[in-house]
Amino acid sequence: MNDHVKIPTKSRNPYYQGPVSDHFDGEHFFNPGRRWKKSPGDLLRWMMERKPERWPASHPSPYMDAPPHRVPGRDIRLSYVGHASFLLQTGGLNILIDPVWSERVSPLRFVGPKRVNPPGIPFEKLPPIDVVLVSHNHYDHLDIATLRRLHAVHAPRIVTPLGNDTIIRDAHAGIRAEAHDWGARVELGPNIAVHFEEAYHWSARGIRDRLRALWAAFVIETPAGRIYHVGDTGYHDGKIFPAAREKHRRLKLAILPIGAYEPRWFMAEQHMNPDEAVRALIALGAERAVAHHWGTFQLTNEGVTRPPEDLKKALATHKVDEKKFTVLRPGEVLNA
């Protein structure tokens, strides 16, 4: 269910109709004090000028995970599936974040960014999935084909920001999808909950539905501590990170994107680069961080190994121990 009571409106928003707020004008979502500036013309300019570093056709990980059925108590087991997808196991609950098992992240099956490595967990090896968190509606985060497969096998509860539930249910009416606004706290299980927080991003599934669904960062309460996760965000003024630290106090772990950042003139509003990811970690005050959003789908200009290479340089620049910011390959596991 939505946090807001739906009200009649003449809005042309196909996904969500609800009251105006400081980040919803009745039709479009936005970050307070910051409007999305990039146009289709900017996208065309980037595509025309684009000189991407060449990726290999295959960049396989040497790892493959076979998760346990459950992880009880205060232990945290975080398995990297690839790109922005994780399996989080803690407190007896199994949570997938932004799950994508498809070969391409695109509205079309035969064109668009293609995987260069398989998912770090074979779909058939997944444990029972209780909850799926979907951060926003871009194809590399909200993958309808994967959500259908998950529904058929696990029938999980899908929790996502406003408007994305409509997209999911329109694709498959039986899926249990619910949507919430920034500031919401949603119980997921005993001693486990998720908070919806602001991220600097945008949304679209096509050229006519820009900003019609909300995006969010998550703070997940677990028996072992709080985990900050953001699927995509720009750095902008950086204020969302100390705000999360102030609200949630001690963060045990931050899951931060480090890829899809070149060229900066086009990507800075929507994706952090590795230097900004390190600055975000410092501002969050988290005990440690895990990197994601790199090395699986070529979305932008930088090479397949550039993000971890640039992250290493940024950690040195900011005098942060490399051990504090872990870079996993698909199939690797972090135990915390």
Give pLDDT tens digits for 276-309: 999 999 999 999 999 999 999 999 999 999 999 9
Angle at CA 324, nearest 5°, toward 323 and 327?
70
Give backbone dihedrals phi and psi of 48, rounded to 5 degrees, phi first.
Answer: -70, -35
Average pLDDT (208-219) is: 96
215 touches 136 (CB < 8 A): yes
User: Which residue(s) pair with 24 in the sheet?
Assistant: 21, 29
% of the chain with per-residue pLDDT over 90: 88
Q: What is the CATH number of the domain that holds 180?
A: 3.60.15.10
Q: Give the pLDDT confidence score for residue 34 in this predicted structure.
A: 86
Instruction: Please tell me what DSSP assigns to residue 24.
Output: B
In a domain, 283, yes or no: yes
Q: Is omega for the bond preceding 107 within 30 degrees of 0, making it cis?
A: no
In a domain, 12, yes or no: no
Q: How many CA atoms lie within 13 A of 104 on its CB side?
A: 8
Total number of domains in the chain: 1
Q: Give the pLDDT confidence score for residue 46 in this predicted structure.
A: 78
In a domain, 158, yes or no: yes
User: pLDDT band at 10, cuts 50/70/90?
Assistant: low
143 touches 99 (CB < 8 A): yes
User: In the predicted model, is pLDDT for residue 5 greater than 50?
Assistant: no
d(CA 135, CA 293): 13
Tell me, what amino acid is at 225?
Answer: G
81 touches 114 (CB < 8 A): no
In a domain, 217, yes or no: yes
The token pair at 45 is: 């300019």
d(CA 331, CA 263): 29
User: In the predicted model, is pLDDT for residue 179 greater than 90?
Assistant: yes
User: pLDDT band at 49, cuts 50/70/90?
Assistant: confident
In a domain, 107, yes or no: yes
Average pLDDT (198-211) is: 94
In a domain, 200, yes or no: yes
CA 88 to chain centre: 13
In a domain, 5, yes or no: no
User: In the predicted model, is pLDDT for residue 73 greater than 60?
Assistant: yes
Say whether pTM exceeds 0.85.
yes
In a domain, 334, yes or no: no
d(CA 37, CA 8): 29
User: In the predicted model, is pLDDT for residue 7 greater than 70?
Assistant: no
Tell me, what amino acid is at 16?
Answer: Y
Q: Give the pLDDT confidence score for residue 8 in this predicted structure.
A: 40
Domain of residue 154 covers: 56-328
User: Which residue(s) pair with 247 in the sheet?
Assistant: none
